[in-house]
Amino acid sequence: MTATDESTEALVARVKAWIDDDPEPGTAGHLRQLWYDVEDAEPDKAAAAEAELRELFRTHLEFGTAGLRGPVGAGPNRMNRAVVRRAAAGIAAWIRAAGTAEHGVVVARDARHRSDDFVADTIEVVAGAGIPVHVLPAPIPTPVLAYAVRHIGVAAGIMVTASHNPAPDNGYKVYDGEGRQIDATQAAAIAEAMAAAGPLARLPISGASNPIIQHHGLEMVDAYLDAIGRVVKPKEGRAPVQVAYTQLHGVGGPVVRRAAHQSGFITLHEVTEQAEADPDFPTVSFPNPEERGALDHLVRTAAFVGAEVAFANDPDADRLAMAVVDPKVGANRDAGAWTPLSGDQLGWLLADHLVRRGDLPEGGVFATTIVSSTLLREIALAAGRGYVETLTGFKWLSRAGTPEHPLILAYEEALGYCIGDTVRDKDGISALLLASEMISDLVEQGLTVWDRLDDLARRFGLHLTGQWSVRLEGGDGAERIAEAMARLRATPPTMIGSRAVAGVSDLAEGAPARGLPPADVVGLALPGARVVVRPSGTEPKLKCYVEVVEAVPPGTDVAGARARAREGLTEITAALPAVLGLD
């Protein structure tokens, strides 16, 4: 039975049970009013109230690609104090079952709406279970929390953040004792413990003065900055770099300022309108640096100051976007000439920069995901190093390295980068340092980012990536996404645009030969191209990732190959809505 099929009486019974267990008067009151309206209001108002309740109780938030995440509100399908308390109880039970509870947990938050309340609930529940709690200064970037897990030596880390999601959202990222986002097995164990936690009113709650609660100061940020500062190779007389920067109303700015100062070669020019943390994100409609328009203020600042490169962190600073001037369009004081690089392009450039630096560890590996570009494989093999491909998300990428085969660089096309093993998660601040070092080297040599990308195209072929996605909210949206994936599996297309589909790979049962577990992912191979289709793990979206590869024979023009690739990418993406039955 789906939530839509459930009787009104059964739905109301679930609502009443939730209200009885809700520790927050505001959310309990909202649900109570909806329940009254369903039973007593005039028909139209009752129908609207019932529809809202069905959405709030349609499902419960689950640990997806990057933890729990959703709009703040009432009921199991929203982020609220009841959900957070149950999650905290589940984590406490999980580490106790693992025999590591005495090591404690570390907790931090960003500046989202209700993040302070959710941290307070987490501390009360975990400490109430008798488990030591280390609390980082707030607000703070997610990479600092990920680093702190191993630095302190705790059993788990909890970060209250919705990362780059819209302003109404909040979330809950959980890290294991190795400083990695929890994997599917760990998430299942926590979910089982959450379900077994019993009524929330029976959970023991700690007072704020409990001595097992330890509040840390900026010494944790000091340790993090000292550690990530080593991603830049010391060099006498390094060329200075003028950097435009925005934290997109998030929490990365204070740490980035210190990192830039400590580098000795980065001069930071911040976007003043976005330099303060603000959970409403007033200057952007969507605080994701991938979204159209999100970097408008940044490139205007970059043009005004004559910067050599422009960077944006997402609100919790675990992602990095980079924009540079396209000399074919204009000079660096022309805002319209500034062009954002794709996540793949920056990933290639960072990998190439590390190879050119020449200090790669023996046996080291490069890693990316099944939806990112295939070019990283070519770069890794040409450098005589290993290559690992994982499912989407850093809970997988963070496990790509081993003691015998240390991670050199991991990246995903969604602007996430991990350099080495210092932070076992994506880190937009250390990535900013390494990218700035790359720009410094290019400035010294009189070259541009575009020169480097052209060189990679000549060596390995012109790789061009793009994406088509559709956002489908609510229960109907989830059903349409599931139907599209089922249709794709049952009757895969024979053609996409003018290209024949040469092969279909379905990861529903996993791909042991590739080291990939089961996942809701379908790949379509085309001549000189590929498409990978998957539902998003953090948003109500169906995503299609497209890559086109054009050879660049010796003596031929890279620009011509790029134009052909763009034509192919445009044709394929235009055909995808019809292919998926979503046109």
Say if residues 229 and 263 touch (Cβ distance below 8 Å): yes
State the DSSP code for 493.
-
Question: Which of 115, 163, 342, 436 is an active site residue?
Answer: 163
Q: What are phi and psi of 547, to 5 degrees?
A: -135, 135
Tell me how crowded residue 67 is: count the other CB atoms within 10 A of its CB.
26
Tell me how far apart the alpha carbons of residues 174 and 197 are, in angstroms, rounded to a whole number.
Answer: 18
Phi and psi based region of residue 186 (left: phi greater than 0; alpha: psi -120 to 50; beta: remaining): alpha
Tell me how far apart the alpha carbons of residues 223 and 226 are, in angstroms, rounded to a whole number.
Answer: 5
Tell me how far apart the alpha carbons of residues 15 and 34 are, in angstroms, rounded to a whole number.
Answer: 9
Tell me how far apart the alpha carbons of residues 507 and 509 are, in angstroms, rounded to a whole number.
Answer: 5
Say if residues 243 and 305 touch (Cβ distance below 8 Å): no
Tell me how far apart the alpha carbons of residues 547 and 530 are, in angstroms, rounded to a whole number.
Answer: 5
Q: Shortest CA distance to 160 belongs to which of 283, 89, 66?
A: 66
154: amino acid identity, one letter = V
Annotated catalytic residue 163:
yes
Say if residues 34 and 15 touch (Cβ distance below 8 Å): yes
- Long-range pairs of 53-60 with CB within 8 A, sequence gap ≥ 24: 53/11, 53/12, 53/15, 54/3, 54/4, 54/6, 54/11, 54/475, 55/474, 55/475, 56/31, 57/3, 57/11, 57/14, 57/15, 57/18, 58/3, 58/474, 58/475, 58/478, 59/3, 59/478
- The token duo for 103 is 């090591």
Tell me the catalytic residues.
163
